[in-house]
Amino acid sequence: MLFAAKSAARKRAEFRAALRSGALLRFPGAFSPLVSLLIERHGFEGVYISGAVLSADLALPDVGLTTLSEVAQRGRAIARVTRLPAIIDADTGFGEPLSAARTVQEFEELGLCGCHFEDQLNPKRCGHLDHKSLVPAADMVKKLRAATGARRDANFVIIARTDARESEGLAGAIERAKVYVDAGADMIFPEALHDESEFEQFRKAVAVPLLANMTEFGKTKLLSARQLADLGLNLVIYPVTSLRLAMKAVEQGLAVLKAEGTQALLLDKMQTRAELYELIQYEKYAQFDKDIDNFKP
């Protein structure tokens, strides 16, 4: 009730332990606290909070327009309600190295378990679009050193994302990843790799945990969890899946409502009132009020 019955520190420690286990961790994207509850209920290992999704939910393109406060507060709302670890997209760190340091401390304070920084120049763009521009690796190193030096909980996971696959090739992306590991990154997120072969080459070259992005309609072939596990990946995110499912359902439902003048034909496609109340533990809140009202000195 109100907050998940597990502290942020415990979630971070368990997340670190899970990364060491060698098992593939599956983190679907949550665009709201309610979605994170469903992710937990369906037995996934964690929750991912996508910067692209937060931008889209504000009807903005993913070009670095969201602010640290907007992202951090949405992250806090999502992480608050679930027992699962939540990691969040920090874009380019919302500024220079000092801003990256502040970003880590804000996310720690608000209950997140990790974040990733990318090596794009602003205005940044979705990792599966063309013509991305990258900062020099030395500049990314400064941000990573600032970020890792700023954390107060050693279990908070710093992830370095590289978008170099397109502009510098696979070899260039691997070289950047090695430099970022030397700068203190706990995990590498190689964005927009094409297929199994490229993941396999990355796995052989980089010793720290690797994150795979299985986003739809992008440059990366959609691989199953079993395939990713066999390739030695440690964590997979499905960043936009839940938003795309929700938006298509809303789009189709509104079309029916407009055409029919009633939602009666849509009831079997809806989460019921009872299902929603059960998910948010409505009965526990009602019992809390009843216990307070029945108090006798």
Q: Is 163 a catalytic residue?
A: no
Q: Is 128 a catalytic residue?
A: no
Q: Is 113 a catalytic residue?
A: no
Q: Catalytic residue, from 119, 166, 191, 198: name it.
A: 191
Q: Is 161 a catalytic residue?
A: yes
Structure token digits, residue 211: 């994150």
Which residues, at least 6 apart from 69, have a Cβ–Cβ distance to it below 8 Å? none
Q: Catalytic residue, from 45, 106, 118, 198: name it.
A: 118
Q: Catalytic residue, from 48, 125, 151, 165: name it.
A: 48
Q: Is 118 a catalytic residue?
A: yes
Q: Is 126 a catalytic residue?
A: yes
Q: Is 238 a catalytic residue?
A: no
Q: Is 196 a catalytic residue?
A: no
Q: Is 191 a catalytic residue?
A: yes
161, 119 contact by CB (below 8 A): yes
Q: Is 195 a catalytic residue?
A: no
Q: Catalytic residue, from 40, 91, 186, 198: name it.
A: 91
71, 107 contact by CB (below 8 A): no
Q: Catalytic residue, from 76, 102, 151, 161: name it.
A: 161
Residue 16: which region, alpha, beta or left (left: phi > 0; alpha: psi -120 to 50)?
alpha
Q: Catalytic residue, from 40, 45, 89, 198: name it.
A: 89
Q: Catalytic residue, from 26, 74, 76, 116: name it.
A: 116
Q: Catalytic residue, from 26, 125, 126, 234: name it.
A: 126
Residue at 18: amino acid letter: A
Q: Catalytic residue, from 14, 40, 62, 106: name it.
A: 62
Residues belonging to the active site: 48, 62, 89, 91, 116, 118, 126, 161, 191, 213
